[in-house]
């Protein structure tokens, strides 16, 4: 069965936040095109569908100039079996739009795109733009008033409409990364947990040559009461925070778990926490072991009172 195509037409007043909203849609996995002339919209959608792209977003506003006049018929042509059309219109009060243009010191788009007589000031440009977009606003499936929204608030609002929890929207990508502190902490980690205080399998002769993916190492690490308590506490923290990171609009989250060499303890904890949270949260979680093959088996002092692992 072919996946239905979701087509989002993002439009609205200049200065209302369309760039921010389009970037948010792109982060949600939409294929985004800005300022596309409306007459080529139906054929563009067909071409993208042939490439198996099913989440499409198009920014359309007064910059398309006279093409706005025939936009209604173009919108009718978009509607077809197997497609869902959503029109998101961003609006704000004239005073809010005027303040934003004043703070950026940019002219209104109509002052440079219209044939004479073009509007001479921002307020006149806003008035003419409202008139030209009135038909598109009437077709909106959702209108967002951004007058009191920060860029972060607007991003969250777009995620509320089209993001996780909305129909068929993908979840935030979550990754658990095990690593060794001796090779440096990962720069892309959002959360870092140091597990070097746990008993170290490196000092068990029959275990030190084995990786943390081996069942014997896993049983040793997880069999300790301290490890069980740590797993419970960290899992509770992540079960609380992961959905809230997602609600905030994050597209991906990296949880890094480190031991000395990244071979034993961090590997076991990353595997166990990813398994438990994947089940409890009902989502796929990626697991990457960055340093499991790097760790050496040479004895040496461990920072903080242990040894290598």
For the stretch 185-213, pLDDT in tens is: 998 899 999 999 999 999 999 998 999 99
Q: Which two tokens stand for residue 110?
A: 């109509």
Strand runs (DSSP E) across 13-107, as ranges?
A: 31-34, 55-59, 83-91
> Phi then psi for 38, rounded to 5 degrees?
-55, -35
78-103 mean pLDDT: 87
Q: Which two tokens stand for residue 104?
A: 């950026």
Share of the chain above pLDDT 90, in %: 49
Strand pairing class (285-289; 173-180): parallel
Strand runs (DSSP E) across the chain, as ranges?
A: 5-12, 31-34, 55-59, 83-91, 142-145, 173-180, 191-194, 252-259, 285-289
Give the model's pLDDT for residue 35: 86
What would the pLDDT profile of 70-81 be if each residue is shown by its tens digit? 777 888 888 888
Give dist(CA 75, CA 39) in Å, integer: 10
What would the pLDDT profile of 211-266 be if each residue is shown by its tens digit? 999 999 999 999 999 999 999 999 999 999 998 888 776 778 999 999 999 999 99
**Which has more pLDDT, 9 or 69?**
9
Radius of gyration of the chain (CA): 26
Give the model's pLDDT for residue 168: 46
For residue 145, count CB atoms less than 10 angstroms from its CB and return exposed for 0-12, middle for 13-18, buried for 19 or more.
middle
- Helix, coil or strand: residue 282: coil
Share of the chain above pLDDT 70, in %: 85
**Orientation angle between helical segments 18-27 and 151-162, nearest 10 degrees:** 50
How crowded is residue 28: how many other Cβ atoms within 10 Å of its Cβ? Answer: 23
Q: Which two tokens stand for residue 146?
A: 């951004």
Confidence of residue 302 (pLDDT cuts 50, 70, 90): very low
| Residue labelled with tokens 């060794």 | 180
**Which has more pLDDT, 104 or 120?**
104
How crowded is residue 82: how many other Cβ atoms within 10 Å of its Cβ? Answer: 10
Q: Which two tokens stand for residue 55?
A: 């989440």
Domains in the chain, start-ordered, CATH in brackets?
5-162 (3.40.50.300), 173-289 (no CATH)
Confidence of residue 301 (pLDDT cuts 50, 70, 90): very low
Give the model's pLDDT for residue 237: 97
For residue 295, count CB atoms less than 10 angstroms from its CB and return exposed for 0-12, middle for 13-18, buried for 19 or more.
buried
Give dist(CA 267, CA 264) in Å, integer: 5
What would the pLDDT profile of 14-27 be if each residue is shown by its tens digit? 889 999 999 999 98
Residue 150, pLDDT > 80, answer yes
Nearest to 152, CA basis, from 26, 281, 53, 247: 247
Does residue 146 contact residue 88 with C-beta atoms inside 8 Å? no
- Helix, coil or strand: residue 6: strand
Mean of the per-residue pLDDT values for the chain?
A: 85
270-298 mean pLDDT: 86
Q: Which two tokens stand for residue 161?
A: 């409409």
Q: Which two tokens stand for residue 75?
A: 């919108």
Can you name the residues that pair with 41 across neighbouring β-strands?
none
Give dist(CA 44, CA 56) in Å, integer: 10
> Among 112-126, 153-167, 228-242, which stretch is predicted with the lowest mean pLDDT?
112-126
Give the model's pLDDT for residue 53: 93
């Amino acid at each position: 069965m072919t996946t239905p195509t979701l087509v989002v037409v993002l439009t609205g007043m200049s200065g209302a936040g369309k760039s921010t909203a389009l970037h948010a849609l792109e982060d949600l996995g939409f294929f985004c095109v800005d300022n596309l002339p409306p007459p080529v919209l139906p054929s563009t959608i067909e071409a993208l569908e042939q490439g198996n792209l099913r989440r499409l977003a198009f920014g359309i506003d007064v910059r398309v100039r006279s093409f706005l006049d025939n936009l209604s018929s173009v919108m009718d042509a978009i509607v077809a079996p197997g497609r869902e059309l959503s029109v998101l219109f961003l609006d704000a009060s004239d005073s809010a739009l005027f303040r934003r243009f004043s703070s950026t010191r940019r002219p209104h788009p109509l002052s440079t795109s219209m044939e004479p007589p073009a509007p001479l000031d921002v307020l006149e440009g806003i008035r003419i733009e409202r008139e030209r977009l009135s038909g598109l606003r009437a077709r909106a499936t959702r209108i967002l008033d951004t007058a009191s929204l920060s860029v972060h608030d607007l991003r969250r609002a777009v995620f509320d409409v089209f993001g996780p929890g909305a129909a068929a929207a993908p979840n935030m990508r979550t990754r658990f990364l095990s690593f060794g502190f001796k090779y440096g902490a990962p720069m892309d980690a959002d959360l870092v947990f140091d597990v070097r205080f746990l008993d170290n399998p490196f000092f068990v002769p029959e275990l030190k040559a084995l990786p943390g993916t081996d069942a014997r190492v896993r049983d040793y690490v997880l069999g300790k009461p301290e490890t069980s308590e740590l797993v419970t506490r960290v899992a509770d923290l992540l079960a609380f925070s992961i959905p809230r990171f997602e609600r905030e609009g994050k597209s991906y989250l990296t949880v890094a778990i480190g031991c000395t060499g990244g071979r034993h303890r961090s590997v076991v904890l990353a595997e166990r926490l990813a398994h438990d949270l994947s089940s409890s949260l009902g989502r796929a979680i990626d697991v990457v072991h960055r340093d499991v093959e790097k760790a050496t088996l040479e004895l040496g002092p461990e920072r903080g009172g242990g040894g290598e692992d």
